[in-house]
Amino acid sequence: MTPALRLEVLSTGDLDAIHSQTLQVLEETGVFVEDDEARDIFADGGASVDRETGIVRIPGEVVESAIAACPSDEDEPVTFSNFDEGVMYVDPRSGVRRTPRKADAADSALLVDALANIDSYAAAVRPADVPVATAAVHGCEAALLNTSKQVGTEATSAWEVRVCAELGACIVGGLDALRDDEVVSFGTCPVSPLKLPRDATEVIVECARLGLSDCILSMAMAGGSAPVTLAGTLVMNNAEVLAGITLAQLTERGVPVIYGSSTTSMDLRYAAASVGSPELALIGAAVAQMSSQYRLPSCIAGA
């Protein structure tokens, strides 16, 4: 673990403007919510729900109440993890590039376990030699058996969240103990621009019901799935994450959440995410400031 670092790229006025514009986007433009259960939760919490279009408009006071309900980060130290989730794997023994297997997830977790500068394991690969519907569970099991560090899962349904949580509970002595010692962690991504698909809302809602933290992470691309300006992209990133956080708090008030971002700019030459670019660094620093403004822990992707 590393002591908290600070890089401020936004002024107090900038932070206030991004927050204000975010509330306007959520209340006037709204977000598309695919799942009926999630729409019901939003409606019961005071949001306006258009059942025909799936658009949910969330009043500013509902969003701010949700932020206030989140446990604060209390200046937690900086930690590091590997990135996820590779769809191809170079076999270290043969040098052959192929689709990943469950054994590769085990080897990846074992490697992370041996690296002193990596604090937790994110699902490095998704096993392709097991049924698609249970791949996240197989990957979680393989990792838990090969590292003593926290294991990040790639659960994409309520069922996968429950099963992975039960695997973690077996290690720490039950689901109640898991809330204090989260040996497994969960995360989900909205779809830019401004969409909460069914898989994302299932993960958010199930984590909240289990009392487990969930990282809600936007992966917007400036110039592609987000405005070309970094300011506009930050507003959209913020809106997507806060929509997910609001859903979590409307499901179970006080549940811990993590403010996430893998947002960057689009490389216009290749129509691909520009990872490792100066824009990614600026956005990451700005997002860290936003999460700090909300007193929330953050998860920022980088290279």
Amino acid letter at 167?
A: L
**In the structure, what pLDDT confidence band is assigned to residue 303 with cuts at 50, 70 and 90?**
low
Residue 108: pLDDT band (50, 70, 90) is very high
What are the C-alpha distances in Å from 122 to residues 118, 139, 154? 10, 10, 8
Instruction: Please say if the pLDDT value at position 82 is more than 80.
Output: yes
In a domain, 266, yes or no: yes
Q: Classify residue 135: in a domain, yes or no.
A: no
pLDDT in tens, 54-66: 999 999 999 999 9
Listed in sequence order, the residues at least 6 apart from 264 whose beta carbon sits closer than 8 Å to its beta carbon are 221, 222, 273, 274, 275, 277, 279, 280, 283
Task: Give the range of the structural domain holding residue 39, as residue numbers without chain letter.
Answer: 12-76+188-198+213-300
The structure tokens listed for 160 are: 């996968």
- For the chain, the domain total comes to 1
Position 21 in a domain: yes
Residue 70 forms part of a structural domain: yes
Q: What is the pLDDT of residues 171-223, one digit of tens each?
A: 999 999 999 999 999 999 999 999 999 999 999 999 999 999 999 999 999 99
Q: What is the pTM of this model?
A: 0.94
Q: What's the half-sphere exposure (Cβ side, CA atoms, 13 Å) at 81? A: 20
Look at residue 276 and tell me if it is in a domain. Answer: yes
